[in-house]
Structure 1
Amino acid sequence: MEANRLQYISYLRVLATFCVVVIHASTGYLNIFSANGFDWNYANVLHSFTRFSVPLFVMISGALLLPRQEPFSVFYKKRMTRIVWPFLFWSLIYLVYYFYRYTNFEVLPLTRVGEIAADKLLHGTSVHLWYLYMILGLYLALPFVQRMVFTLSESELRWFLVLWFVALFVMNKRLVSYMPSLDLSFFFGYIGYLVLGYWLAYRAPAVKVSVCVLAILVLGGLTCWGTWLLSVQVQKYDSLLYGYLFPNNALLAASFFLLFKQLVKKPELPEWLSFLDSYSFGIYLCHIIILNYIHPLVNLPTLWKIPAVSLVTVLLSALLILLIRKVPGGKYISG
C-alpha cells in the first residue's frame, strides 16, 4: 500500500469524525421546521454536506480491510475484539447516563427499569451507537466479502456496484410506490460501501479534483434543495434525502473519497491530524455525552455556535479518550 494512500485515509477519517459531530450538534435545529428561518436552513445546509460521513467510515473499512487475506479465525480475533470491548463499555456508560439524566426512580417501577435497560442494550443505549451494531454485522461478513472481491474480475466487481446502487433505489421503503417489486436484498445495505471503498482505493481510475469538487457542490446543493422542498410539502422536517443508504449520499461519499485521494500527496501527517486520527473511533463513541453538556453553555449566534460547539466537542472527546487510555486496560475499551 502506498504511503500517500494511508495518509489520505487518515484525512478522510478525521473529516468524517468531525462531520458526525456537526450532524449531532445541528440536528435539534431541524426538528423545529421553519421554511424561511435561518436556523433551520443553516442546519439543512450542514446536514446536506455532512451526511456522507457514516458511509465514508464504512468505505474506509473496506479500503483498509478487504485487501487483506487472513484466516477467518485470525480476522475475527483481531478485528472483532477491537469493536466488541468498546461496544460493551460504552453501551454500559450510555445506559447509566440515560438513567442518570432522564429517569426518576421514585416513580418508575424497578420492573420497568429492567425492561428499558434490556430494550436499550438490544437496540442501542444511545442514538449514535446503532453504528456499532451495523459495523459488527459487517465485520462478521467481511471475510466472505474479502474472498468475493479477490475472485471477481474487474468488470464483475463493477457490475456488483451497479446492482448495489440500483438496490439503493429499489429497496428504499419510501420509494416503494415508484419501484418494481424486485428483491435485491443480496446487493442492498452497507456492505456495498465496503466494496465501494475497496474499488475506489485500488481499482477506480483517477478523477480530476475539479470534477470531484463540482460533484460535491451539486450533490450537496440538490440534497439541500430537495430536503427543503419535501419539508415544505408536509410542513415538517423530512429526512428522506439524508438517509445513509440513499444514492445521493453514496455519490457524495465517493466524491469526497476521490477528492482526498487526489489532493493528499505528502507522506507525512500533521501532528494534530495524526493525533485526531488515532482517537477518531473513541471520539465517535464518547462525543454525545460531552456535546450534551457543551451545547447549552455556548452563547453564540447559530452561525458560529454549531461549528464552535463541534470543534470543542471533538477536542474534549479526544482528551477524554487520551485519559481513559492512560488507565490500565483503557486502550482496549476506549475505542
Structure 2
Amino acid sequence: MARTSYISVLRIVAIFLVILIHSSSGYLNSNDFESFDWSYANWLNSFSRFAVPLFVIISGALLLQKDESTGQFYRKRLLKIVPPFLFWTIVYLLYYFIRYIDFDYIGFPQVINIVLIRLKSGTNAHLWYLYMILGLYLAVPFIRKIVGNCSKRELEIFLGLWFAALFFTNKWFNSYLPNFDLTFFSGYAGYLVLGHYLRNYPIQMVKLSSFTFFLICCLITASGTSHLSVSRGEFDPTLYNYLSPNIALSGGFLFIFVQGLKLPEQLSAFWEFIDIHSFGIYLCHILLLNYIHPLLQLPTLWKIPVATVLTLLASALLTYLLRKVPYGKYVSG
C-alpha cells in the first residue's frame, strides 16, 4: 500500500462529510427532538463531526515530516492559502449582499459595519477554517522543531496532555474541573501532532477494533447530544465541538482504521479527481449547496445524501473549471 493512498482516502472522506454536515445541520434548529428529521440529522452529524479535525490530522501527517526553512515554508504554503482565502472571502461577501441585503433600506455606514462584522471570522460560516489553518501554518515551522526532537515516548506524553487539555478547555467539562492552565497543549495544534505521530508510528490494531472504537465514539456523540438537547429544551451542540474528546477520538480511530486497510497504490481517476480538488470543493460547496438543496423535492431520508453527492460533484466541476481560466489555479483552492 502506498503511504499516500490512505491519505487520499481520508481526504475524500473528510470533504464528503463536511458537505454532509452542512446538508443536514439546518434540521437541528427545529428542536423537535422526537421527529425523524431531527434524529436523522443528529445521527448524520454525529458520524461526521470529526471531518474538519481529520483535515488537520492529515496536514500534520504531511507537513511535519518535511525539512525546509521557515521562510521556504511560509512562501510555499501561504501562497497556496492566501489568494484563495482573499478570493472566496470577496465572493461570499458579494453573495451575502446580493442574496440577503436590500440596499433601499440600509446606508453606506451599515454596509461598512456588515463588512467588518463578516470579515471578523469569515464572510461565510465555513471560512472560519481558513482563519484557523492560517494560524496553524504560521506555527508549523516551530512545531516541526519540537516534534523533530521528540522521541516516540515524548510525543505520546504530549498527546496525552493535549487530550487532557480537551477536557480542561471545554466549557462544559471545565465547570467540573480545577483551573489548571493547559493552554500550551490545547487547540488544533494537537491534531497536527497526532497526524505526525500516527504516520510515523502506526498503531497496529485489528481493523475491527479500530472501527468499533470509532463507532462507539460517534454513538456517544449522537446519544449524548440527544440527551443534552432534551434536557436543555433546545439543541445543545456541546459534543459537536471540534475540540471535544469524543470528536478527537473519532477522527483518530478512523485514521487508524483507514491507515490499516489494504488499499491500491493509486486510486481510480474519479477519486483522484475528487482528492486533488478537495480544497476547492471545501471553499465553494456552500455556494452550490444553497441552491441545490432547496431544489430537491425528496423526503429528508434521501434529500440530505443526494444533496451532498450532487454538491460534491458540482463543486469539483466548478473547481476544475476555475483552474482552467487564466490565473484561476491561484484562487480556486
Q: What TM-score do the two structures reach when normalised by structure 2?
A: 0.99
1:258-277, Cα deviation, whole Å (9 max, x unpaired): 11101143212111110000
RMSD: 0.9
Aligned counterpart, 1:283: 281
Q: Does 1:19 pair with 2:27?
A: no
Residue of 43, 64, 78 corresponding to 2:62: 64
In the comparison of the two structures, how many residue pairs are matched? Answer: 333
Aligned counterpart, 1:147: 145
Gaps of 5+ in 1: none
Amino acid at match of 1:325: R
Tell me how far apart the structure 1 counterparts of residues 320 and 215 of structure 2 sit (CA, whole Å).
Answer: 36
SS at match of 2:248: helix
Amino acid at match of 1:172: N
Aligned counterpart, 1:296: 294
1:249: how far off? 0.6
Residue of 264, 267, 281 corresponding to 1:266: 264
1:205: how far off? 2.6
Tell me how far apart the structure 1 counterparts of residues 44 and 16 of structure 2 sit (CA, whole Å).
Answer: 12
Tell me how far apart the structure 1 counterparts of residues 267 and 289 of structure 2 sit (CA, whole Å).
Answer: 27
Superposed counterparts of 1:154-173, under 5 Å: 154-173=152-171
Amino acid at match of 1:163: L
User: Does the CA-based 8 Å contact 1:44-1:224 persist in structure 2?
Assistant: yes
User: Does the CA-based 8 Å contact 1:124-1:130 persist in structure 2?
Assistant: yes
Tell me how far apart the structure 2 counterparts of residues 330 and 245 of structure 1 sit (CA, whole Å).
Answer: 34
User: Does the CA-based 8 Å contact 1:26-1:306 persist in structure 2?
Assistant: yes
Tell me how far apart the structure 1 counterparts of residues 302 and 262 of structure 2 sit (CA, whole Å).
Answer: 28
1:175: how far off? 2.2
SS at match of 1:31: helix
Tell me how far apart the structure 2 counterparts of residues 212 and 45 of structure 1 sit (CA, whole Å).
Answer: 20
1:208-231, Cα deviation, whole Å (9 max, x unpaired): 110111112211111111111000
Superposed counterparts of 1:110-125, under 5 Å: 110-125=108-123
Tell me how far apart the structure 1 counterparts of residues 314 and 202 of structure 2 sit (CA, whole Å).
Answer: 37
Amino acid at match of 2:21: I
Q: Which runs of 4+ in 1 moved over 6 A?
A: none
Q: Does 1:307 pair with 2:305?
A: yes
User: Does the CA-based 8 Å contact 1:7-1:264 persist in structure 2?
Assistant: no
Aligned counterpart, 2:105: 107
1:195-215, Cα deviation, whole Å (9 max, x unpaired): 001101111331111011111
Amino acid at match of 1:43: A
Amino acid at match of 2:68: E
Aligned counterpart, 2:222: 224
Gaps of 5+ in 2: none
Amino acid at match of 1:224: A
Tell me how far apart the structure 1 counterparts of residues 251 and 184 of structure 2 sit (CA, whole Å).
Answer: 22
SS at match of 2:267: coil
1:73: how far off? 0.6
User: Does the CA-based 8 Å contact 2:281-2:315 persist in structure 1?
Assistant: yes
Tell me how far apart the structure 2 counterparts of residues 233 and 333 of structure 1 sit (CA, whole Å).
Answer: 45
Q: Percent identity?
A: 51
1:305: how far off? 0.5
Deviates more, 1:62-71 or 1:210-219: 210-219
Q: What TM-score do the two structures reach when normalised by structure 1?
A: 0.98
SS at match of 2:34: coil
User: Does the CA-based 8 Å contact 1:4-1:264 persist in structure 2?
Assistant: no
Tell me how far apart the structure 1 counterparts of residues 262 and 100 of structure 2 sit (CA, whole Å).
Answer: 45
Residue of 43, 51, 55 corresponding to 1:45: 43
SS at match of 2:243: coil
Tell me how far apart the structure 2 counterparts of residues 61 and 42 of structure 1 sit (CA, whole Å).
Answer: 31
Tell me how far apart the structure 1 counterparts of residues 27 and 116 of structure 2 sit (CA, whole Å).
Answer: 31
Aligned counterpart, 1:333: 331
1:33: how far off? 1.4
Tell me how far apart the structure 2 counterparts of residues 176 and 259 of structure 1 sit (CA, whole Å).
Answer: 31
User: Does the CA-based 8 Å contact 1:63-1:201 persist in structure 2?
Assistant: yes
Amino acid at match of 1:332: Y
SS at match of 2:145: helix
Aligned counterpart, 2:87: 89
Tell me how far apart the structure 1 counterparts of residues 305 and 263 of structure 2 sit (CA, whole Å).
Answer: 28
Tell me how far apart the structure 2 counterparts of residues 35 and 205 of structure 1 sit (CA, whole Å).
Answer: 38
1:86-123, Cα deviation, whole Å (9 max, x unpaired): 00000000000000011010111111101111221232
1:236: how far off? 1.0
Aligned counterpart, 1:32: 30
